[in-house]
Structure 1
Amino acid sequence: MLMKQGWAIGIAVALGFALSSCSSTPEAGPVYSELKTDVNDMAIAAGTLTTEGECLTLSDGTIPIFPKATTEWKSSVLTYSGAEYKVGDEIELTGGEVPRDGDLGKTVPANCGDGALFAAN
């Protein structure tokens, strides 16, 4: 009888781990784009780097869209244009606001909030 209980407990624990790994929330990271934009360096978005859903955001809710060529996300560190940032750090970006219904807006995951989209250069 103890042998059957041991197997039952083992199976229950294994199922618990399997199910919990399926429902985990993905780690937040930057929204990338390889699309060319027509924004220039005339606008600035600045604030504290935060997270919302799967995305890095700014403290005012702005969702930066980073150029893939100059941005890297590794071990919770954002490397953008040669500088490193972590959540909680102040960051200043140049670029411009882009519409949600444009090509860049379509790259933003749905759970990132409804803040303005800012294409960083």
Structure 2
Amino acid sequence: MSPIAIYDTGANSEGFGALTRGALQLQGGCVVYQTDSETLVPVYPDGTEWDADGERVLLADGSMHAIGDEIELAGGQVASLSGSTSIPAGCPSDLEYYIVVP
């Protein structure tokens, strides 16, 4: 099972224009995003895939983010999710989410 959270790009992601910097980590079967101040669950747009052998997130545009990489993500932070999302069972339920926009 994939450790990345996914949302349906048909859902409205307007208004998510923040840019944040942090590192991807694999934590208990879930990809998380560690910033200087908090840990978030990044929720990627559908079309994003997990490469288990390389431990990296493969985005639909062809770019990739490996576990341990320090990266910038565009999007926005939310406390709860609505709409069609797929959250891995291993993701901590006490963390907030970061909707990643392409």
Identify which of 74, 82, 102 aligns with 2:82.
102
Answer 1 or 2: which has greater helix percent.
Answer: 1
Query: Are the equivalent residues in 2 in contact too, given 1:39–1:96 (CA < 8 A)?
Result: no
Query: Are the equivalent residues in 2 in contact too, given 1:64–1:118 (CA < 8 A)?
Result: yes
Q: 1:45: how far off?
A: 3.0
- CA deviation string 1:9-65 (max 9, x = no partner): xxxxxxxxxxxxxxxxx6x62111225133344212320110222211112311100
How many corresponding residue pairs?
93
Answer 1 or 2: which has greater strand percent.
Answer: 2
Distance 2:81 2:71 in 1: 26
Q: 1:83: how far off?
A: 1.8
Q: Taking structure 1 as reference, are residues 101 and 30 closer, same or farther at Cα in structure 2, changes over 3 Å only?
A: closer
Query: Are the equivalent residues in 2 in contact too, given 1:45–1:118 (CA < 8 A)?
Result: no
- Which residue in 1 is equivalent to 2:5? 31
List runs of 5+ in structure 1 lacking aligned partners: 1-25
Deviant stretches of 4+, over 6 Å: none
Q: TM-score, normalised by structure 1?
A: 0.62
The reply on whether 1:72 has 2:49 as its aligned counterpart is yes
Question: What's the RMSD between the two structures over aligned residues?
Answer: 2.3
Q: 1:100: how far off?
A: 1.6
List runs of 5+ in structure 2 lacking aligned partners: none
Distance 1:78 1:107 in 2: 15
Q: Taking structure 1 as reference, are residues 111 and 119 closer, same or farther at Cα in structure 2, changes over 3 Å only?
A: same
